[in-house]
Structure formats: structure tokens, C-alpha cells
Chain A
Amino acid sequence: MATRIVTVGSASGLHARPAALFVAAAAAQPVAVTIRTANKPPVPAKSMLSVLALGARKGTEVTLEANGDGAEASLDTLADLLVRDLDAEPADG
């Protein structure tokens, strides 16, 4: 099982645009990725409603997990997205 523990970097938290970008990226991965916070069970990272319901804010530590071929690369991609401040980046992505 591949694992990454990262801190949410977007100013607005894992809401709105940052959540939409993250969920879309998770859905595009070849493996099923889960995300959880310290006090909540893991949920599918490609589920917009579940990711929002985590209520992760800027600075919240989240854990990404995945199994199978390409899991490491997928988690690298998603972890990189989470640590960036997506609110501060231009909206052309």
C-alpha cells in the first residue's frame, strides 16, 4: 500500500476550486485512491461529495492511500496538488 501524508496548502482549504481540481485529478488516475483526515475514515478521492465532507481546511493533515501498478506515481501527482495553494494560481487549468 502506497501512502502519502500531506498538509492542505490552499487558502480556502479543500473546498470549491481546489476540491474540484483535486477530485478531477483523482478520477483521472489509473488506481483507486482514498483520502482521509485524522479523525475520519478513508473515502474515495474521486468522490466530490465525500472529499468536501472531510471539511479539510488549510493546514489540515490528510492521508492518501492507493494499491497497485502506478500507485506511487498517482499519489505523487495528487500530493503535489494538495500542498500547492490552488486558490492563488490562475484559473485557466
Chain B
Amino acid sequence: MADQLHGIGVSPGLAAGLAYRVCEPPRLPAPTVVTDADAETARAAVALASVAADLDRRAASARDSTAGEILAAQAMMAADPVLLDMVGARIRDGADAGHALYEALAEFKRQFEAAGGYLAERAADLDDLRDRTIAGWLGLPMPGLPAPGHPYILVARDLAPADTATLDPEQVLALVTEAGGPTSHTAIVARSLGLPAVVRCEGATHIADATPIAVDGTTGRVEVGVDEAAIADTRHREQLRRQQLSRSSGPGRTADGHPVALLANIGSAADLTGPEADAAEGVGLFRTELLYLDRSAAPTLDEQVEAYRAVFEAARGRRVVARTLDAGADKPLAFLNFDDEPNPALGVRGLRLGRRYPDVLRTQLDAIARAAQATGGNAWVMAPMVATAAEAADFVAACRMAGLPTAGVMVEIPAAALRADTIVPAVDFLSIGTNDLSQYTFAADRQCGDLADLLDPWQPALLQLIAACTAAGKAAGKPVSVCGEAAADPALAPVLVGLGVSSLSMSARAIPAVRESLAAHTLADCQRLAQAALAATDAGAAREAVLGTALLGG
């Protein structure tokens, strides 16, 4: 009989196969007495060289250039002659190779952390390097992704970018992690690769390698020790699900024809290529940051016009909701000065930048207006991090000045949701950014894996704030959309629609599953599910109430 584990389903789909765990980092054994320092140094050199070669290989096969560069930089650290000198000196002082490596890298880690900022974030790379080198020295397998030689289900405590950079979607059937949350790196990677995934699955790391398991990325259920028949059945159901999704097309609507626009989240015109983006009814979130990142000076008006033109042209008349620059001390830009904010998530970011740099926003709005005019694009504009009705009204006035007829604001701050009724009169629409709204509602940092349960988009408190926005929107006759991770969850989509959300924006890949889910529910079903979720005491109960009701109610 199969054992059942439960986690949070964060990327829909079914998978069955043999589970393999990510290799845990080795533990440093007790120190040994070194009699031949030269031979011991040579062993350390061999371990470092093999790790450097391994990282170089992984850099060359990385899926994207950013991940490849991080791995290549890590390879250069392993090959660093100064590191080997430091290790040699410690071995001559009596340490064994493992402890010498450990101490030498700890020394650099202290320096990285003291430098702060970007370098402090890279300190984890040094821990990874230490684990790899010590594994090499001990003759253990490299920590990281397993390679059983056939497709498998990847099980881990949590996945680091270094793991997922080289993750081969042809070899990995599904992801199951014990830590992480709906907005974790694991969840985002799984959705972008279209792999079923369950996070926060307690007991997952106790699954022995090569155990047959079945994973449901919608319900979060993981069955451990399933038999051949169950594996075949799961695969058959997944095949049917995929066939149904590939046939799915057309605008989003409920079973009784209530329209719900299904839109794509994009970062540039390049994200609008491909059949999945073609099927989107428009762009619900155009993140304009890409144009501003990694530059020493602000992009000029002409440069911006060019980039926005490309997006409007690719959208071919469909709606494009552009979010104005969402930067701040947590996403710094070289040409804007940010104070060393002790708490950047609560600092001068998003629309608040306009308090210091009004020209940046003005230029951006002008550029969007010109690009829309030149292309006949259907441009909507919205501001991130709006807290008050006055901020919303000021932003809309600035948009009107620039000649942009459709202006709205994002709801990411609880104050804006609670007072949505005072905000809607001035704006043309609201768009709820559920990731930040969760973070600020639960006072839980999005990056903090230990708090992932609080950041679950099924939290009734979050749903209640969404309901406050839709009630205000309905009273004023203004549309309310959702553009966070919550919109991509096919089980949650009917709940959001039941709450009164009129459009959902997500990565284009997630649209077919959400479209099918909506098509299976009438608007009255959606409203019933929304009430059930709102009435629940916590996120788990809300999910159970909805999935249970959906199964019973068909």
C-alpha cells in the first residue's frame, strides 16, 4: 500500500516514476594527522582541479547565459591559485586537506560578507564550492542533481539556482521539495519548464532513492511506493490532460460563458513569440525593468520608445498593460542612488521612486505614449507600490498628461486593498500583485523559505483583500485583474473569478490549464468556491474546501 505525503501543489500536472534525491553535501570528518604535507596538498589540488573542471562543464551546458556565467565564475574560484596557496599553508601548519579547504573558503566567505551587497549574496557560492571540493577529496559523489541515466522524479530539501540551471526537462519528470513555497525558486522554475511540482512536502527527503512515486502538482499529493498499475494509470491520465490542454484554445470563459481575459506576463517583446503567447488575449503585466537593469545611465527617451514599440507591434493590437519601473534598493539601478535602506522592501521603491526622481517616471510615460501612438498599440499603464488614493490620483494625472488614456494602479500594499473604494474613482482599473500583497499582508519576506506557508496564495486573508478590491471595482464599474503567481494556479483561478476578478495574467505557458479549469466551472460554481475558500480558517483548509467541493460538484 502506498504511503501518502502532502505538500503544496505549485505547478500542475501528474507524473509517476522513480524518485531520486539531490545528493546532500558531505560532512567534514574528524581531523586527521598529516605526515606528508606535500602529498596532502597535492590531494587538495586534485580535488580543486576536478571541481573546477566539473563546474566548467556545467557552465557550458547551462540552460541560460546568466546561470552559465555564475557557474563559470565559480569554476574560476575553484581554480584560484591563491586559494591553493592558502590551503597549502594550512596543511603545512598541520591541517588535513578537508579542514584546510574548509578554513580557507571560510576566510573568503567572511570577506565577501563584510563587503555586503552583491558579494554577500555570492557567499552561498563559496559554501557550494566547499561542499563540492570536500566531496571530491573524500571520493564521494558531487552534491547536486542525481544522474540515474533515465527520467526520474527529483526530490530535494530545496533547489538552488545552481541545481536548476542544469536541470534537464527531458530527464526530470517532476519536482518534489520539502522546503520552499509557492513563490520559491523551485516553483517558478517548475512552472517555466511545465513540470509538475509539489513544495513544502514534509517527509519528502526520507523517500529512498529509486522508490516509485506518483506526484500530483495540482493537489500537492505525493504517493510513495506505488505499483506498476498506478504508474501506468498516472501516466495515462497525464497524457489525457496534456492532449486536452493542447486542444484548448480561444478566449477565457466559464462554463456558462462569463468572459475572463487570460493574459501573459512578459519582460520584453521576445516573450510574445511562440504559440502559447499567441493564444494570450493580451499582456496583463509588461515588466519594464529589463530596459533599465545593468546600465550605468538611464535609457534615453528614444531607446525606450524603440523597446515599447517592439512590444506593441508583437502584441498586434491586443491589450498591453505596462507596469512602470519597479526598482528600489532591493532591485538597485546603477544610475539611481538608493540609501542603504535597512529594510528595502519597505523603502523607496516602485512608484515611490518618483518622490526622488520625477523625471524617470515622466520620461517613461512619454515613451510609452509615443510608442503606442506610432504603432496604434492598445496601451494600458499601471504603477507599482501604490499605498493611497492620492498617490493613485497623481499617477493617473501624470498618465493623462502624457496622453495615455487607460491608467490604473497595482494593489500590492494592504492599505490600498483596504481603501480600494477610495482609489477606484480616480483610476481605470486595478491589478492585484499577489506576491507582494502576500508579503506585506503577512509581514513575511518573499525570499524567506521558512515562511512559505504564510505566503501561500490560498491564505484566506489574502483572498479577503482581493475581495475588497473586486467589491470596490464592481461598485465603480472598473475591472480588477490579478497578475501574481496566484493567477497561474488552475485550482485557484475559479476562486479568483468567483471573487469578481475579471482578468488573470500569468506566464503564457500556464494559460491552457487555467483556461480548461475555468471552462469546467460556471460563474455560480466559482462564486460558491470563493465563499468556501473565504470561510476557511487557513490556506490548507481553503485549498481542501475548494478541491473537495470541485470534485464533488464536478
Contacts and interface: CB of A to CB of B under 8 A. Distances in A.
Interface stretch (B72-80, B316-324, B458-466): B72-80
Given A55-B115, A91-B65, A48 B77 contact: yes
A52 B113 CA distance: 11
Contacts of B39: none
Contact of B112 (A11, A19, A52, A87): A52
Contacts of A58: 296, 334
A48 B129 CA distance: 13
A53 interface: yes
Contact of A17 (B69, B108, B122): B69
Contacts of B141: none
Given A15-B118, A53-B111, A58-B334, A48 B296 contact: no
Interface string B152-171: 00000000000000000000
Contacts of A15: 118-119, 122
B181 to A, nearest CB: 27
Interface string B518-533: 0000000000000000
Size category of the binding interface on chain A: 20 to 34
Interface in B160-198: none
A5 interface: no
Contacts of B83: 47, 49
A58 B295 CA distance: 11
A19 to B, nearest CB: 7
A50 B65 CA distance: 24
Nearest to B110: A53
Contacts of A36: none
A47 B82 contact: yes
B148 interface: no
Contact of B82 (A9, A12, A49, A85): A49
Contacts of B70: 16
B133 to A, nearest CB: 13
Contact of A88 (B69, B81, B119, B295): B295
Interface string B55-95: 00000000001000110110011011111000000000000
Nearest to A10: B296
B116 interface: yes
B335 to A, nearest CB: 8
B340 interface: no
A23 B334 CA distance: 23
A23 B76 contact: yes
B3 interface: no
Nearest to A20: B73
Nearest to B294: A87
Interface of A: 9, 11-13, 15-17, 19-20, 23-24, 43-44, 46-50, 52-55, 57-58, 85, 87-88, 91
- Which 3 pairs across A and B sit closest by C-beta, in order of nearness? A55-B115, A47-B82, A53-B111
